Amino acid sequence: MARKQELEKQAHRTDVETDEFAAFAREDAEDRKVLRVSLWGAVGIHVLLLLINFPALTAQPREVEAKDKKIFVIQTPRFKQQPPPPENPVLLREKRVPMPDPDPDDPEPVRIEDPRPPLELPYDTSIDFVIPDAPPPIDDQPVGPIPVGGDVVAPVKIYAPQPQYTEIARRARIEGIVIVQAIIDKEGNVTNVKVLKSLPMGLGEEAAKAIKNWRFKPATLNGKPVDVYYNLTVNFRLQ
């Protein structure tokens, strides 16, 4: 009995599920039908709108464009040809205009003579004009020493002892020249010795010491002895 009731319940449940599935299938079929109808209706409406409004929308800009369009005509400029020059050019001659003579009616300048007589200055013929004597001649000899050159005759060496080699310079075999500037006075003596170019190991000092003992015939200017600056050279050579 229980078995039979259970089978009836299962059969009833199966019938209910079958009815529900059939109802769901019908609703889905109706929805698809409505969607297809709506889709085709929308496509038809859009096609009608395009066929009706598109020519009107496209025609208006073309008319406006046709109205705004302007046509410009470019003309080619034409230049006027210059006439050819004449074969025989006419030369213009200079015309000379004579200068008119001065007006004869112009009055001559009036000369006014000075009525005053010339001024005569009295002078005394007893005054004697005496030309003063010339001042005494100024000695043109220079005061201080001058360089040799021009009218200055160079001094002449009379006595010139050679300097001594220092022992350390001899051992080092130092050779060369020493240049000394000195003043040779009016008596031919050497003073104010100054070494311009020296050698090491005491050779410069030895050269200056020897030159102080040298004697010269003094330099002259216009035949008179003068003090001069003079450069002297001492040569150191080992034999």
Q: At 220, which CATH number?
A: 3.30.2420.10
Strands 219-221 vs 152-153: parallel, antiparallel or unpaired: antiparallel
Write down which residue in 53, 76, 99 finishes a domain. Answer: 76
Q: How confident is residue 56, by pLDDT bands cut at 50, 70 and 90?
A: very low
Q: What's the mean per-residue pLDDT of the chain?
A: 76
Q: Is residue 106 part of a domain?
A: no
Domain final residue pick, 76, 94, 125: 76
Residue range of the domain that includes 161: 148-236
What does the pLDDT average to over 194-199? 93
**Residue 188: pLDDT above 70?**
yes
Q: Each residue of 121-163: pLDDT tens digit?
A: 565 555 555 566 655 555 566 677 899 888 899 999 999 998 9
Residues sharing a CB contact under 8 Å with residue 143, sequence separation 6 or more, in sequence order: none
In a domain, 105, yes or no: no
CB atoms within 10 A of CB 193: 17
Tokens of 32: 């698809």
d(CA 214, CA 162) in angstroms, rounded, equals 9
Residue 129 lies in a domain: no
Whether residue 128 is contained in a domain is answered as no
pLDDT for 229: 94
Is 130 part of a structural domain of the chain?
A: no
Whole-number Å distance between alpha carbons of 52 and 46: 10
Q: CA 36, CA 74: separation in Å to the nearest integer? A: 64
Confidence at residue 41, expressed as pLDDT on a 0 to 100 scale: 83
In a domain, 103, yes or no: no
User: Where does the pLDDT of residue 28 fall: very low under 50, low under 70, confident under 90, or very high at 90 and above?
Assistant: confident
Q: Is residue 27 part of a domain?
A: yes
Kindly state the helix (H) or strand (E) to which residue 208 belongs, with its residue range: helix 203-211
Residue 202 has pLDDT above 70, yes or no: yes
Domain finish residue from 76, 96, 113:
76
Predicted confidence (pLDDT) per residue in 92-112, tens digit: 565 565 655 555 555 555 555
**What is the Rg, in whole angstroms, of the alpha carbon atoms belonging to the chain?**
72
Task: Please state the domain count of the chain.
Answer: 2
Mean pLDDT of 39-60: 70
